[in-house]
Structures are given as C-alpha cells and as structure tokens.
Amino acid sequence: MSFLLKSTPERAEVWKPLFNSALPDLAFHVWPETGDPKEVRFLAVWEPPSDLLTRFPNLEVIFSVGAGVDQFDMSAIPEHVTIIRMIEPGLTEGMVDYVLWATLTLHRDGLTYIAQQKQHIWKARPNLVATQRRVGIMGMGTLGAPVAQALALNGFNCSGWSRSRHTVPDVTCHAGPEELDAFLATTDILVCLLPLTEATHGILNTSLFEKLPKGAQIINAARGAHLVVPDLLEMLESGQISAAILDVTDPEPLPTDSPLWDDPRILITPHIASSSQTETAGRVLLDTVQRYLAGERDFPSKVDRSKGY
C-alpha cells in the first residue's frame, strides 16, 4: 500500500519524513517516482495526471493540496474514489490576513491615494470608520467564516451569504438564493470566497453588481471564473462599482494586454492570497490518512460530489 505525492519539492522534503516516521508501513512516493502503481491508494496532488485511474487502478483517496477542487475533472474520477479538500490552519490564516489587508485598503481609499500619488495630488477624502463600513462575504465555509469573524473583530459591520446557513458570532448570516438580494443591498465591500461550481461560475456579473449600493467595492480571492470582466469594467465606468482588488483571474497568469492591469481602480495580486503551509498542511494530511486507515470515512473536508465542493 502506498501514498503518492505530486507537488512541490519543498512539500516532499517535509512530508516524506513526516509520513515515514508516523506510518512506516505506508510507502511514500514522490512523483514522478510512483513505485508499483497498483499499490497506490492515496494521491495528494494539485492537478492529477490525465490517465489517473488506468494508471492507479486501486486508488481510494485523492487529496487536493489546495483549498479548491475545481481543478479536478470530477467526471473522470469514479464515485468510489474519495476526494478531500485541504482544510488546514495555515491556509485559513493566510486568507484572513489577505482579506483584512484588502478590506482595509479599500476601506481607507488605498487605490485612490496610490493613483493620486502618481499624479502628485494632495487631496484628502472623507474618512469612514470600520463600524460604518458594511463588508459582505460570499461563501461562509472554512475560509469565509474565519474571515468574517476577523473582520467583525476589527470593527467592521459584517455579514455573510452562503448556500446553507452558518452561524458566526457578530456576523449577520444570510443563506440561499432568496436571501441574496437583502445581503447585497447592505454590502459596501463584497468579498468573494465561494467555491467555483456550475452554480457560482460568472456570479460576479452586472445583475449582481446592480444590487449593491452605488460605489460598492469588490474583493475576489476565490477564482477568476467567478467574475465577468466586461461587466466589472462597465460597472466601474458607470460608478456603480468604485474599486476592485482581484487576486485571481481567468486565465492565470493574467494576459499582459488585459485592460485590468492599467485601470487605477483595480489592484491585481498574482493569486497569492493564501496557500497551504507546508508544516500545518502536512500534519493535517497525515492525520487524515491515519484516521482513514483506522476506518473513518466521514471527513468535513470530504467533497460532496452533488455540490461540487
């Protein structure tokens, strides 16, 4: 029985000894070395090889080394194979930091001051304090809920929207399509942390933007395909949206001729909001494999195929 890792050399360097000492009977292979492919029961990967199941016929579990699983072609992975997302404290912490930074940047008109500085303009804008700013998080799962909590702790007037209802202290939680409009109507800074599924593809579009208060601001730290770029550009022109911070684009890297690069109302970061941290993610992975080997099958990080995340 073996575990196969197809990821970065840094992760392999830390995870292999960790697994070897905790689970000496489980062979740990680092791609492209696979050992006997029939022995591979566990695969940790970002993008699986295309001939996955013919190559590893006895595969039982695929672990995503990141939070998302939208990079997997689910139709090519048989039902009996369990898919597990990465839920680990380091990745969550990174996302909390990023969204706090992006929210504070928008809250304090950071993009305007950067643009003004380039033109040597000394001009103050009226300040709001955090309690006067309403931040709405779309996607209240393992990333969205801690992000909402951190924003609330920093004084923001925070609400969340998700498919099913969550409860987070000091955060107004909305759920389901019927509560989306009410959520949007009270959101000055909209943060997208949704998983990318058929239902959420292109969700950041004109019809949604029009339901936000005029001058609302956008943060997308989820996936580029959530956003319809021409709709955002049009909304920036009309003033319905006043600024956006985008960590993700479609495609990535963002093509050098994209109009998003040069718009002073847009700040681009190159998909760095957060990623699995080697130490903490390795421990979570090991713990999950140990529990799986002990017979456990219900993990909160297990992907529900019907929902796509």
**Which residue of 4, 52, 67, 77 would you call a contact of ligand GLV, by CB under 6 A?**
67
Q: Say how far apart CA 44 and CA 268 lie, in whole Å.
A: 29
Which span (65-73, 76-84, 158-166, 287-295) binds ligand GLV, by CB under 6 A?
65-73
**CB 229 to ligand GLV: min, Å:** 19
Catalytic member of 166, 223, 226, 283: 223
Q: What is the rounded radius of gyration, in angstroms, for the C-alpha atoms of the chain?
A: 21
Q: Which is closer to ligand GLV, CB of 137 or CB of 173?
A: 137
Residue 68 interacts with ligand GLV (CB under 6 A): yes or no: yes
Q: Could you confirm whether 120 is annotated as catalytic? A: no
Q: Which is nearer to ligand GLV, 15 or 183 (CB)?
A: 15
The residue range among 61-69, 73-81, 162-170, 237-245 that interacts with ligand GLV, by the rule CB under 6 A, is 61-69
CB 193 within 8 A of CB 143: yes
80 is an active site residue: no
Pick 143 or 212: Cβ nearer ligand GLV:
143
Closest of 250, 247, 235 to residue 205, by C-alpha: 235
Shortest distance (Å) from residue 182 CB to ligand GLV: 29
| Nearest-10 crossing angle of helices 144-153, 89-107 | 50
Closest residue to ligand GLV: CB criterion: 66
Give the span between the Cα atoms of 87 and 109, in whole angstroms. Answer: 32
- Return the residue of 154, 275, 280, 301 that touches ligand GLV, per CB under 6 A: 275
- Size of site (CB under 6 A) for ligand GLV: 4
Site for ligand GLV in 88-147 (CB under 6 A): none
Furthest-apart CA atoms within the chain: distance in Å: 67
By C-alpha distance, which of 219, 128, 212, 138 is closest to 171?
A: 138
The catalytic residue among 271, 283, 291, 305 is 271
Residue 192: enclosing H or E segment and its boundaries? strand 189-192
Q: Is the peptide bond before 253 cis (omega within 30 degrees of 0)?
A: yes
Q: Which is nearer to ligand GLV, 49 or 68 (CB)?
A: 68
Q: Which two tokens stand for residue 23?
A: 């689970």
The CB-side HSE value for 33 (13 A sphere, CA atoms) comes to 7
Whichever of 25 and 198 has its CB closer to ligand GLV, that residue is: 198
Candidate list 29, 48, 52, 66; residue touching ligand GLV; CB under 6 A = 66
Pattern 154-173, ligand GLV, x by CB under 6 A: --------------------
What's phi and psi for 236, nearest 5 deg?
Answer: -70, -40
Q: Return the closest-CA partner of residue 102 out of 276, 236, 246, 225.
A: 246
Instruction: Kindly list the catalytic residues.
Output: 223, 271
Footprint of ligand GLV (CB under 6 A): 66-68, 275
